[in-house]
Amino acid sequence: MEVILKLKEDIVVPVELDALLPEKIEGMDVEEIKDIEIPQGRRTVKVGDIFHVEIEESDIPRMTIKNSSMKLKRVGEGMTTGEIVIEGDVGMHVGAEMRGGRILVHGNVDNWAGRGMKGGELIVKGNGRDYIGSAYRGGYKGMSGGLIVIEGNAGHEIGEHIVGGMIHIKGNVGYFAGIHAKGGIIRIDGDVPGRLGAEMIKGAIVVNGRLSQVLPSFKYEGIVENPVIKIKKKDEGVRIEGTYHMYTGDYVNRKPKGQLYVSVNKNPHLA
Amino acid sequence: MEYIIKNGIVFDPLNRIDGEQMDICIRDGVIVESVSEDAKVIDASGCVVMPGGIDSHTHISGPKVNTGRLMRPEDSYKELYLKRGLKPGTGFSIPTTYKTGYQYCEMGYTLGIEAAMPPLKAKHVHDEFVDTPQIDKGALTLFGNNWVVMTYLKEKDYELCAAYVAWVLKVTRGFAIKIVNPGGTEAWGWGKNVHGLDDPTPYFNITGREIVRGLCKVNEMLGLPHSIHVHPNDLGHPGNWKTTIETMECVKDIEPKPKYGERETVYYNAHVQFHSYGGTSWKDFESKGAEIAKYVNKSDHVVVDVGQITLDETTTMTADGPMEYALHMSTGNKWANCDVEVETGSGVVPFYYSPKGPVYSVQWAIGLEIFLNTDPSKVILSTDHPNAGPFTRFPRIIAWLMSKKYRDYWLNEVVHRWARTRSSVGDSDKEYSMYEIAQITRANQAKVLGLSLERGHLGVGAIADIAIYDIGPEEKDPRVIERAFRYAKYTFKRGEIVVKDGNIVRETFGDTIYVDVKIDETLEKELMKDLNEVFRKNYTVQMENYKVPEYLANNWRVIKIDNSQIS
């Protein structure tokens, strides 16, 4: 079953949509879906008040949000299966704590996309902002599985406290990418202003663009070609094409095992 | 207002009532012989009736609890308390003050003792007590690393030390003497710790033995209702069980002389589970819970509370600064550290006791081993909230104790195999009876705190703090036990129904209990001469600003002790 939600008009007060998971609304009819209560600011409204709802045939549980805006928050939070397609931008916490399924966003996403994600896929065609795949504020366990792909740029502190899984940013990122990382792989195709992997203990970060500076607490290990990245010894490994400067760190921790791969071609100023 | 609780099955260990079906009459907040015809009848047939629960060691208020709340927004996110007509609250291991009060009350608890109040921060503790509803409160004042105490004890000037303790208890409105890692927290000011009972602290050159013995003597000189409340040295170190027994042994010859209450012991060992470790490192770590239990059973001067690990993600907080640093270094988790000038220090670190962790599983088993091997009149149920687990897990601990089947399920299916191979918890067939549960959750606490004249029992004249649980006395189903003790059918606070069917129906604000000992005037003058100097030289506050003002409580309940003969 596919549910198509279309915003009736632009909303000002944000709405939380974690009650509308494809697996939860599977099998409901239009009227039932319109009757679901969702919080808008400090009030509770019904889905039918702000969305046009339609149902179409589909083999998997699907939900499409048309005319979406940054005011829709917590879309797909905790989902385990199915697919959500968002045509437009979407607000904070999209795909937070998700365990499976797939979310496809055709616009931009706000902060905390894929926060604490445990599995599944989150694909964003536009730009992301801060804390992608990170832990909740104050928490120390971030994304632990699954895949996040951002085709545009991203903000600061992406993959904060990442424990597993992969984040792939095809554009540029801000400061402190992979801070406190304890596992997982972060791939950045664009440029990084610096402070990459601060306090990381484990995990790997690959930079294909320009990195202005490596933190002084990282140790240079030499140049590697087409490295196969393994986080644990038993891992199959992820093979990456290209020539990289390799660093380990962050040596502000005791016995760190973090790996940093920085493209040789784009970074003639390093090492 | 009059009530009569009819046909309940009463468990009241202090009056030796073991499961008798009887009626309890309440008038004007106290239990009385009989009531008039107009009394409201509460039908408790088939239910268990007990005195209100008492938590004698918990951290619910004050600067370090608040630091925990501030540094852990992720804990706040985990649990939400939203009920119509009540203040909303958040937090799983370090709930907000209102949530703390409500949840204790839902479980039938009516008194909680905050276990570590630095005298300098007493105002903060009492200010949070004002906002903790439903339960009565008291705070143990920290003395074990206090410069003034250490100086007097080194000079063996017990009278002046007693005068100082009495003065601090009065001005900070404290309830009893708490000692945390004697000498160790002070050594942490030098970046060190002390190891064992006879390792002197830097500068003051005084050992833990001198501090514990000295303060125990002072405690009995003053005749305080509660005994010294001790968190011994070497908490959480493999092999620390010897230190624990040595510390218990060192006050053996001191006589209990309370001037209020019916206490018979001189030493309260807090969270003894953390002090019962064998082995030399975490690799050969093993349980010595049975040895500790054996010692406690044969000694008349000791009561222990267990500090049972509940295998949850929680927040550790203690005045044992060096221990928290060690915890931070071993886990890499965030850490808060504080030095309280002249008096003590503290630390806070979040911690996850994973059931899959070998060491944590053994810790879990050690707690149960102590429960199962100790005489139930000498052991107290606590989780050292929130250090070993939040207090809302008490019902689960009760279920582990009452049902061997449930305990074995956890032992064999949930926790790591080390719990089976390195402890003897699987060998014990003991199942706690309802009477023994009443002992370890209420009666023992009331007695050791010295409050058993009016609390912790259901005799005529006692304050009408009563819990009624919807459970048969022979019930063995762990799910029923857990549910029944988590949500009391009724809780009475001072003769009023405050909880009905697990819901708060009436918000009340309890008393704050403190001790005021009157001492000899010439002695007090001598003390003031010294203290003026200490405040001028060492403190950042004036003496007048140090005192806890009258308005920082909903209602003070003072225990006055006249002890003007010590001089």
Whether chain A has a CB inside 8 Å of the CB on B352: the answer is no
- One-letter amino acid of A111: N
Q: Which residue of A has its CA nearest to B72?
A: A138
- C-beta atoms of A138 and B333 within 8 A: no
Whether chain B has a CB inside 8 Å of the CB on A137: the answer is yes
Q: pLDDT confidence of B317, banded at 50, 70, 90?
A: very high
Q: What token pair was written down for A143?
A: 């994304």
Q: pLDDT confidence of A249, banded at 50, 70, 90?
A: confident
Q: Which pLDDT value is given to residue B559? A: 94
B496-500/A62-68 β-pairing: unpaired
Residue A233's SS3 state is coil
Q: Which pLDDT value is given to residue A184? A: 94
B512-518/A43-46 β-pairing: unpaired
Q: Which residue of A has its CA nearest to B77?
A: A136
Measured CA to CA, the distance from residue B466 to residue B52 in angstroms comes to: 4
What's the half-sphere exposure (Cβ side, CA atoms, 13 Å) at A148?
42
Quick one: what percent of chain A has pLDDT higher than 90? 84
Structural domains in chain B, CATH included, are 50-504 (3.20.20.140)
**DSSP secondary structure letter of residue B143:** -
If you average pLDDT over residues A169-183, what whole number do you get?
95
For chain B, how long is the longest CA-to-CA vector? 69
Q: Which pLDDT value is given to residue A271? A: 67
Share the mean pLDDT of chain B. Answer: 93
Q: pLDDT confidence of A194, banded at 50, 70, 90?
A: confident
Cα distance from A29 to chain B (closest Cα, Å)?
31
- C-beta atoms of B350 and A137 within 8 A: no
Q: How far is CA B246 from CA B153, B234, B242, B297, in A?
A: 20, 12, 6, 15
Measured CA to CA, the distance from residue A50 to residue A57 in angstroms comes to: 23
Q: Which pLDDT value is given to residue B17? A: 93
Answer yes or no: are the C-beta atoms of A153 and A126 closer than 8 Å: no
Measured CA to CA, the distance from residue B262 to residue B457 in angstroms comes to: 13
Q: What is the pLDDT of residues B70-81, one digit of tens each?
A: 999 999 989 999
- C-beta atoms of B73 and A138 within 8 A: yes
Q: Which residue of B has its CA nearest to A199?
A: B332
Q: What is the pLDDT of residues B418-454, one digit of tens each?
A: 999 999 998 999 999 999 999 999 999 999 999 999 9
The yes-or-no verdict on residue A254 having pLDDT over 90 is no
| Cis peptide upstream of residue A250 (ω within 30 degrees of 0) | yes
Q: What is the pLDDT of residues B123-171, one digit of tens each?
A: 999 999 999 999 999 999 999 999 999 999 999 999 999 999 999 999 9
Share the mean pLDDT of chain A. Answer: 93
Q: pLDDT confidence of A1, banded at 50, 70, 90?
A: confident
Q: Which pLDDT value is given to residue B331? A: 87
Cα Rg of chain A, angstroms: 20
Quick one: what percent of chain B has pLDDT higher than 90? 91
Q: Which pLDDT value is given to residue B439? A: 94
Measured CA to CA, the distance from residue A82 to residue A127 in angstroms comes to: 23
Q: Which residue of B has its CA nearest to A161?
A: B333
Cα distance from B139 to chain A (closest Cα, Å)?
29
Whether chain B has a CB inside 8 Å of the CB on A96: the answer is no
Here the ipTM equals: 0.81
β partners of residue B30: B27, B463
- The A residues from 218 to 257 touching B (CB cutoff 8 Å) are 253
- The B residues from 76 to 115 touching A (CB cutoff 8 Å) are 77
No. of helices (H) and no. of strands (E), chain A: 3, 19
Q: What is the pLDDT of residues A23-38, one digit of tens each?
A: 988 888 899 999 999 9
- C-beta atoms of A253 and B332 within 8 A: yes
In chain A, domain spans: 111-263
Q: What is the pLDDT of residues B97-136, one digit of tens each?
A: 999 999 999 999 999 999 999 999 999 999 999 999 999 9
Residues of B in contact with A140 (CB under 8 A): 74, 333-334, 350
Residues of B in contact with A201 (CB under 8 A): 332
Residues of B in contact with A139 (CB under 8 A): 74
Q: Which pLDDT value is given to residue B207? A: 93
